[in-house]
Structure 1
Amino acid sequence: MNEKLDQQFFDVNFDLRDNKYEPIKTIGNGAYGVVCLAHHRKTGTNVAIKKIVNVFEHFLIGMRTYREIKILRHLVNHENIITIRDVFLNSNNSKDVYIVFDYMDTDLKRVLESNQTLTNDHIKYFTYQILNGLAFIHQTGIIHRDLKPSNILVSQTCSIKIADFGMARQYRDHDQTQYVVTRWYRAPEVILGYTEYSQAIDLWSVGCILAEMFGRKPIFSGTNTIAQIQLIFIILGTPTKAYLQSLHSDCFRRLILSVGNRQPANFKALYPNATDDGIDLLRQLLVIDPEQRISTNAALQHSFVNEFVVKLDDGDECAMDTDTDKFDFGFESEKWTLEQLQSAIHDEINRFQVRSSKSNTNGDDELTSNNDKLATHDAPIESHHQVVIVDSSPSEASSTATKLEIDTTRLAEKKRKHRRRKHGLHHHHHSKRLTSTMCTDEKASSGDTNDDDINNPS
Structure 2
Amino acid sequence: MMSASSDSSMASSSPENAAQAGHPPEPKFNSIEQSGTKWQTPSIYENLTVLPTAGAFGQVCSALNSLTDREVAIKKLSRPFQSNMDAKRTCREVSLLTYMRHENVISLVDVFSPDLSEDNFRELYIVTQLAGTDLNRIVKTRSLELENSHVQFIAYQIFRGLKYIHSAGIIHRDLKPANIAITEDCSAKIIDFGLARLADSDSMTGYVSTRWYRAPEILANWTHYNHTSDVWSVGCIIAEMITRQPLFPGHDHIDQLKKNLQLIGIPDQEFIDKLALPAAQRFFEGLPRYERTKVSNIHGLEDADERVIDLLEKIFVIDTGSRINVGAALAHPYFSDYHDPDDEPVAEHPFEEKYLLDLDKIQPKNQCEYLRKKVREQVLAWRADNPYNAMKKPQDYNLEDKSRSS
TM-score range, shorter chain: 0.7 to 0.9
Alignment partner, residue 63 of structure 1: 88
Instruction: Say which SS state the counterpart of residue 99 (structure 1) adopts.
Output: strand
Partner Cα separation in structure 2 for residue 209 and residue 134 of structure 1: 14
Aligned counterpart in structure 2 of residue 144 of structure 1, from 132, 149, 172: 172
Choose from 100, 109, 117 the match for 2:127: 100
**CA 1:290–1:366 in structure 2 vs 1: closer, same or farther (change >3 Å)?**
farther
Which of residues 102, 109, 118 in structure 2 aligns to 1:85?
A: 109
Over aligned residues, Cα RMSD in angstroms?
Answer: 2.9
Tell me, what secondary structure is at the counterpart of 2:81?
helix
Cα deviation, residue 334, structure 1: 2.6
> CA-to-partner distance for each residue in 1:343-366, whole Å, 9 max, x for gaps?
211112112322343x62x5x438
State whether residues 108 and 128 of structure 2, in contact with CA within 8 Å, keep that contact through their aligned partners in structure 1: yes
- SS of match in other structure, 2:49: strand
Q: Determine the structure 2 residue equivalent to 1:381.
A: none
Kept in 1: contact 2:165–2:347 (CA 8 A): no
Shift of 1:273: 3.6
Partners of 2:242 and 2:346 in 1: CA distance: 33
Q: Which runs of 5+ in 2 are unaligned?
A: 1-33
1:67 partner SS: helix
Give the AA of the match of 1:13.
T
> Which residue matches 2:304?
274
- 1:144 to partner: Cα distance: 0.8
1:310 maps to a residue whose letter is D
Matched, 1:43 2:73: no
Kindly tell me: are residues 192 and 47 of structure 1, through their superposed partners in 2, closer, same or farther at Cα, counting changes over 3 Å? same
Q: Partners of 2:396 and 2:108 in 1: how far apart?
A: 13
- Once the two structures are superposed, residues 201-234 of structure 1 have per-residue CA deviations (whole angstroms, 9 ceiling, x without a partner) of 1111111111111211111111111111111111
Secondary structure of the residue aligned to 2:323 is: coil
Residue pair 2:213, 2:236 contacting (<8 A) in 1 also: yes
Aligned counterpart, 2:28: none
Deviations 1:292-351 (A, max 9, x none): 01011111000111321236xxxxxx4454662011123224325322222211112112
Structure 1 residues 175 and 264, CA, compared in 2 at 3 Å: closer, same or farther? Answer: same
- The 8 Å contact of residues 41 and 114 in structure 2, kept in 1 or not, is answered as no
Matched AA of 2:65: H
After TM superposition, list the pairs within 5 Å mapping 1:105-116 onto structure 2: 105-115=132-142, 116=144
| CA–CA separation in structure 2 for the residues paired with 1:64 and 1:250 | 30
Give the match's secondary structure for 1:307: coil
Q: What's the offset of the Cα at 1:73?
A: 1.2
Relative to structure 1, the CA distance from residue 329 to residue 173 in structure 2 (aligned partners, 3 Å threshold; closer, same or farther) is closer
Aligned partners of 2:67 and 2:393 also within 8 Å: no
Question: Would the aligned equivalents of 2:93 and 2:194 in 1 still touch at CA under 8 Å?
Answer: yes
Q: 1:17 to 1:141 in 2, by over 3 A?
A: closer
Superposition pairs of residues 105-184 of structure 1, within 5 angstroms:
105-115=132-142, 116-172=144-200, 176-184=204-212
Show the 5 A alignment for 1:194-273: 194-249=222-277, 251-270=279-298, 271-273=301-303
Provide closer, same or farther for how the CA distance between residues 66 and 12 of structure 1 changes in structure 2, counting only shifts above 3 A.
Answer: farther
Equivalent of residue 327 in structure 1, options 344, 351, 354 = 351
CA displacement at 1:262 relative to structure 2: 2.8
The equivalent position to 1:191 in structure 2, one of 219, 225, 249, is 219
- 2:50 is equivalent to residue 15 of structure 1: no
Mapped pair 1:349 → 2:345? no
1:294 is matched by which residue type in structure 2?
I
Cα drift, residue 272 of structure 1: 2.4
Paired position in structure 1 for 2:321: 291
Aligned CA distance change for structure 1 residues 251 and 64 (closer, same or farther; 3 Å)? closer
Deviates more, 1:45-54 or 1:319-328: 319-328
Deviation at 1:277, TM superposition (A): 0.4
Distance 1:254 1:339, change over 3 A: closer
Shift, 1:109, TM fit? 0.8
For the residues of structure 1 that align with 2:183 and 2:397, how far apart are their CA atoms? 14
Paired amino acid for 2:248: F
1:154-213 per-residue CA deviation (whole Å, 9 max, x = no partner) reads 111100000111111111175631122221111111111212211111111111111111
Q: For residue 97 of structure 1, what is the amino acid of its counterpart?
A: L
Does the 8 Å CA contact 1:229/1:256 hold for their aligned counterparts?
no
Distance 1:372 1:204, change over 3 A: farther
What are structure 1's unaligned runs of at least 5 residues? Answer: 1-9, 312-317, 375-429, 436-458
Counterparts of 1:61 and 1:373, CA distance in 2: 36
TM-score by length of 2: 0.80
1:48–1:239: structure 2 CA closer, same or farther, 3 Å change rule? same
Cα distance per residue 1:361-394 (max 9 Å; x no partner): x5x43877789969xxxxxxxxxxxxxxxxxxxx
Higher relative contact order (CA 8 A, sep 6+): 1
Secondary structure of the 1:36 match is strand
